[in-house]
Amino acid sequence: MQKTALLTLGRLPKALDVAVALHSAGWRVIVAEPAKWHLARVSKSVAKCVAVTAPNDDQSAYIQDLLDVIKTENVSLVVPISEEALHVTLIAEHLPENVQLYSMPHEQLRLLHDKSRLIALAKSFELAVPETHMLGSPEAAHMASEQDFIIKPICTCSGQGLEICKRGDALPPADQRPASVVQSYLDGPLKSSFSIAHNGRIIGTVVYRAAILSGTVAVAFERLDSETKIENWIQDFVTATHHSGFISFDFIDDSEGNPRAIECNPRATSGIHFVTADSLATALLDPENSTQLKLKSQRVMQQFYPSLTETQMAAFKRDGFLQKLKILATAKDVNFKWGDPLPLWLMPFTSWQIMKRAFLKGESFGEASTHDIAWFENT
């Protein structure tokens, strides 16, 4: 009998990667999505889509909706895709014994998502991180008087609420904004990672950098090889936490060229686009016997429509136009497959709700696509 997997988001390109991988492995793939129309809905790899309540509208209703789908569709595997993961993990205690949730427990994800507690945890393992203090503390005030710094909420995504400040700039009152950290500003290159782990063992890691940005979110990506220092940092962290599942980090090199982790994303990120479907399926379905992630031949990949928008804007602003145009013309789209072309061809229609919100509210595509699913708790 064919087994059924439930993906808990369909609007983002990484959902397609997971759907294609599981479908290729012979699974029936269902997508639960608050949006009626979304990217994965038109993919041949998806058998059915179910509309559910947005977790930030009514979390209890969202959890019940997921449990109803799991029961009705005889789901065996639940795979959180992106920012909704923290909400999804609340279903764990209600799942039948024969249903696997591909995630660490809720409290562990909250710990990794919290930009203050993550830094403290990494420091306890003697791993390199930037100096970080809670806004409102004497330590934060002292650091801000001595060096450039950034301020960001402890629970946020897509760069929301990020402020870059100069040494001596006044700190805002802590009680007038969400709980936030003050972090030492690092001027090195930003690098991101995507890993899959099992019981504290790394199955594979992809390190990449942004080739084109929309706000603070990458929409075109360049794979970076031979990033041994970053890979070792991740392995040490995963071993110490005994992590299983997806885990991703952002790193910035310090003045000596050593990477320091600035935050953790306990979910899949854009590095997943570089992983082959068969390799991803094995890591998801048989992690005990999965020993590596096979990578696609492409070194640069893009989300075509956001990259097109950023390239058009660069033509008017004279901001790296030729470089972006080259990427637009040569990089493979993360969504496109000749045997399944509709996700790319129909993206202007299926992503219309996201684009409308971005244009009307002046948000980046990252902000517009996560406002109803992200975890914004500040306690």
* Residue 211 tokens, joined: 């080739």
Residue 378 has pLDDT above 50, yes or no: no
Give the span between the Cα atoms of 210 and 120, in whole angstroms.
Answer: 27
Q: Of 320 and 110, which is predicted with more confidence?
A: 110
Residue 301 has pLDDT above 90, yes or no: yes
Residue 159 has pLDDT above 80, yes or no: no
Give the span between the Cα atoms of 39 and 49, in whole angstroms.
Answer: 11
Give the count of beta carbons closer than 10 Å to the beta carbon of residue 318: 8
Give the span between the Cα atoms of 221 and 82, in whole angstroms.
Answer: 18
Three-state SS annotation for 259-281: EEEEEEECCCCHHHHHECHHHHH
Give the span between the Cα atoms of 15 and 176, in whole angstroms.
Answer: 36
State mean pLDDT over 194-212.
Answer: 97
Integer Rg of the chain from CA? 20
pLDDT (tens digit per residue) in 311-332: 999 988 877 899 999 999 999 9
Scan for tokens 């970080």, then name that residue. Answer: 132
Residue 160 has pLDDT above 80, yes or no: no
Mean pLDDT of the chain: 94
Scan for tokens 């493979």, then name that residue. Answer: 332
Percent above pLDDT 90 for the chain: 84
pLDDT (tens digit per residue) in 45-68: 999 999 999 999 999 999 999 999
Give the span between the Cα atoms of 140 and 143, in whole angstroms.
Answer: 5
- Cα pseudo-dihedral 162, 89, 289, 75, rounded to 10: -130
* DSSP character at residue 174: G
Pick from 154, 176, 155, 153: nearest CA to 163: 153
- Quickly state the pLDDT bin for 176 (edges 50, 70, 90): confident
Q: Would strands 77-79 and 100-101 be described as parallel, antiparallel, or unpaired? A: parallel
